[in-house]
Amino acid sequence: MDDSSALTIKEQRGDLKTPGQNSPFRNRSIDENIALFKAMREGQFTDGEKVLRAKIDMAHPNMNMRDPVLYRIQHAHHHRTGNAWCIYPMYDYAHPLEDAIEGITHSLCTLEFEDHRPIYDWVVEHCEMPKVPRQIEFGKLRIKNEIQGKRFINQLVTQKVIDEYDDPRLITLSGLRNKGIPIQAIHQFIHALGLPKSEGETELTMLDEEVRHVLSNTPRIHMIKNPLKVTLTNYPEGSVETLETKWFNEGSEDSRMLPFSKHLYIEKDDFLPEKPNKKWKRLSLGLEVRLMHAYFIKAEDMVCDKDGNVIEILATYDPATKSGSDFDERKPNGNIHFVEATTAVKTVVEEYESLLIDEADKTLPLDEILNPNALIRYEAWVEPHLPEDLAYFQAIRLGFYQNTPSGFKRVVALKSSFR
RNA sequence: UGGGCUAUCGCCAAGUGGUUAAGGCAUCGGACUUUGACUCCGACACCGGAGGUUCGAAUCCUCCUAGCCCAGCCA
Which bases in strand B are touched by protein, i.e. have an atom under 7 Å from a CB? 2-8, 10-14, 23-28, 34-39, 68-75
pLDDT for A210 equals 97
Q: Which nucleotide is nearest to A112 (CA to C1')?
A: B69
Helix axes A117-126, A91-101, angle to 10 degrees: 60
Q: Which nucleotide is nearest to A144 (CA to C1')?
A: B11
- CA contacts within 13 A on the Cβ side of A71: 18
Q: Which nucleotide is nearest to A250 (CA to C1')?
A: B38
Percent of all residues in chain A with a pLDDT value above 90, rounded to a whole number: 90
pLDDT for A252 equals 73
CA distance A243 to A230: 18
Handedness of CA A46, A48, A50, A54 (dihedral sign): positive
How many residues appear in chain A? 419
Residue A103 DSSP class: T
The tens digit of pLDDT for each residue in A189-212 reads 999 998 899 999 999 999 999 999
pLDDT for A246 equals 81
Count of C-beta atoms within a 10 Å radius of residue A112: 9
The tens digit of pLDDT for each residue in A95-123 reads 999 999 999 999 999 999 999 999 999 99
pLDDT for A366 equals 87
CA of A196 to C1' of B13 (A): 9
- Total-model pTM: 0.90
pLDDT for A207 equals 98
Strand A407-413 relative to strand A345-352, pairing? parallel
Whose CA is nearest the C1' atom of nucleotide B24? A192
Q: What angle do CA A203, A209, A212 make, to 5 degrees?
A: 145
Nearest to A127 by CA among A94, A79, A153: A94
Cα Rg for chain A, rounded, in angstroms?
A: 33
Give the residue ranges of chain A where pLDDT is below 70.
250-251
pLDDT for A251 equals 64
- The interface pTM score, or ipTM, of the predicted complex is 0.93
pLDDT for A102 equals 97
The tens digit of pLDDT for each residue in A280-329 reads 999 999 999 999 999 999 999 999 999 999 999 999 999 999 999 989 89
- Hey, which residues does A264 pair with through a beta bridge? A230, A340
CA of A401 to C1' of B43 (A): 34
Whose CA is nearest the C1' atom of nucleotide B4? A115
CA distance A72 to A53: 9
CA of A121 to C1' of B17 (A): 34
Mean pLDDT of all residues in chain A? 95
